[in-house]
Amino acid sequence: MYTFTDAEIQEIQKHVAKYPDRNSAIMPALWIAQEKFGWLSAEAMKLVADTLDVAYARVYGVATFYTMYFKKEVPKHLFEVCTCFTCGECGGKETMKFLREYLETDEKGFSKDGLFWVREAECLGACDTAPVAQITNSRYVHNLNESKVRLTIDKLRSGVELEYEQIPLTNQNAI
């Protein structure tokens, strides 16, 4: 049975209160549902629609438009490697190849042990620390190399929460 807790409903209502139109709260409500259920089944999307009192078609449309919402069961960890121009030129494609080999992924990018899903990402907006990866829609890992990939995978496998990397600003990357 798909339900939200009172705390989750309160969190969703905080988002509803921020906007003049309830439809604007669909994205944060989908995040809450995905965090709770791990992915967005039709039942989870219906729960979001019912909770927000909006059309299911709108919720479905938002969920299926954005790649960060999972519409099928996926492994616990998503490892998205940027392979756009800068990251690609700085080793993103090689990082992707190494990651797939290291995790022994199938053609869809799922690891042999079932814990990881690997896919290419469009620009992650961190060209100054290329190559970069985003882990399960939340943490970035910068300046990737084989050693850092292994370390990150080992931490995730052992259940260690990844810390946010502190990237010092220099004259080259100052805003």
In whole angstroms, what is the distance from residue 141 CA to residue 154 CA?
14
Helix (H) or strand (E) holding 139: strand 139-141
Higher pLDDT, 122 or 29: 29
CATH number at residue 49: 1.10.10.1590
Tell me if 126 is assigned to some domain.
yes
Contact 59, 52 (CB under 8 A): yes
Examine the domain organization and report whether 86 and 150 are in the same domain: yes
Name the band, by pLDDT with cuts 50, 70 and 90, for residue 67. Answer: confident
- Domain with 46, as residue range(s), is 6-65
The alpha carbon dihedral of 129, 83, 73, 154 has a sign of negative
- pLDDT value at residue 174: 38
107 and 147 in one domain?
yes
Q: Determine the pLDDT at residue 173.
A: 43
Band of pLDDT at residue 167, cut at 50, 70 and 90: low
Report if residue 168 sits inside a domain.
Answer: no
The reported pLDDT for the residue numbered 166 is 56
Tell me, yes or no, whether 55 and 91 share the same domain: no
The whole model's pTM is what?
0.75
Please tell me the predicted confidence (pLDDT) of residue 159.
Answer: 85
Residues 57, 92 share a domain: no
The domain tally of the chain equals: 2
Q: 3-class secondary structure for 6-39?
A: HHHHHHHHHHHHHCCCHHHHHHHHHHHHHHHHCC
Q: Is residue 59 domain-shared with residue 106, that is, in the same domain?
A: no
Note whether residue 171 is domain-resident. Answer: no
Neighbours of 19 (CB within 10 A): 12
CB 87 within 8 A of CB 140: no
Q: Are residues 61 and 89 in the same domain?
A: no
